[in-house]
Amino acid sequence: MEEELISYIENIISNEIQDQAVEGELAFLSLSSKIEQNFRDRIAVKLQYSDICDQLIIAREYKRCDLAILDINLSPILILEFKACYSFDLVMEKKINEYKLEIEKDFSKSAEKFPGTPMYSILFITHSKNLIPRNLYGVVKYHSQINKNLKLYDNNESRLNDEGKSNFRNTFPQIEYGNIIQNDIAFDISVDLVYGLIKKR
């Protein structure tokens, strides 16, 4: 059941969310704010009304966990935690360590509250492929870090993105990456959105 649920959740993330979004919607949301709660809610709704969860219960913010899938006796069978970052975060050792600690804290919390229950962390990574113009400062979040790091990589956005994902794989070797959107446009800025799925070992 665990593998079937995770496969379905990955399909929601990598296909259904994009299919049901208007052009530019996900780029806009991910540039203007961190996106994990928005995606958590979309996933929860899809699960609640899916055939695969017909005999299951979907609970948001369940005992301080982002999302839980429960059986009819309200026993958890799968726990999900969500985080969001930007590609520039994953080329900075300090930020990598911050996310590592947050994810490991979620793993420890899950193990304590729900011993033996499978738990996954899902990290959403926003990647701006263009510099943010001055007129969008304050509209696009983290514009200064986006611009700083793109310039450090000589505007080679692909190398910045690839290096960040590689760095985080060094931290969590079990991470599996997938694409959500590629070259979605908001504010005339091209955005890729990637997810990383990390299973608690």
Please state whether beta strands 76-86 and 189-199 pair in parallel, antiparallel, or not at all (unpaired).
unpaired
Q: What is the pLDDT of residue 155?
A: 86
CA distances from residue 185 to 27, 34, 64, 74, 96 in whole angstroms, order as listed: 6, 17, 34, 42, 27
Residue ranges for the chain with pLDDT beneath 70: none
Q: What is the pTM of this model?
A: 0.95
Query: What gap in Å lies between CA 92 and CA 164, rounded to an integer?
Result: 8
Q: What is the pLDDT of residue 172?
A: 95
Q: What is the pLDDT of residue 182?
A: 95
Distance of CA 160 to the CA centre of its chain: 18
Q: What is the pLDDT of residue 16?
A: 94
pLDDT digits (tens, 9 = 90+) for 77-131: 999 999 999 999 999 999 999 999 999 999 999 999 999 999 999 999 999 999 9
Q: What is the pLDDT of residue 195?
A: 97
CA distances from residue 48 to 12, 55, 124 in whole angstroms, order as listed: 12, 10, 21
Give the DSSP H or E segment for 31. helix 25-32
SS3 of 129-195: the string is CCCCCHHHECCECCHHHHHHHHHHCCCCHHHHHHHHHHHHHHHCCCCEEEEEEEEEEECCEEEEEEE
Q: What is the pLDDT of residue 134?
A: 96
Residues contacting residue 94 through CB under 8 Å, at least 6 positions apart: none
Start-to-end CA distance of the chain, whole Å, equals 18
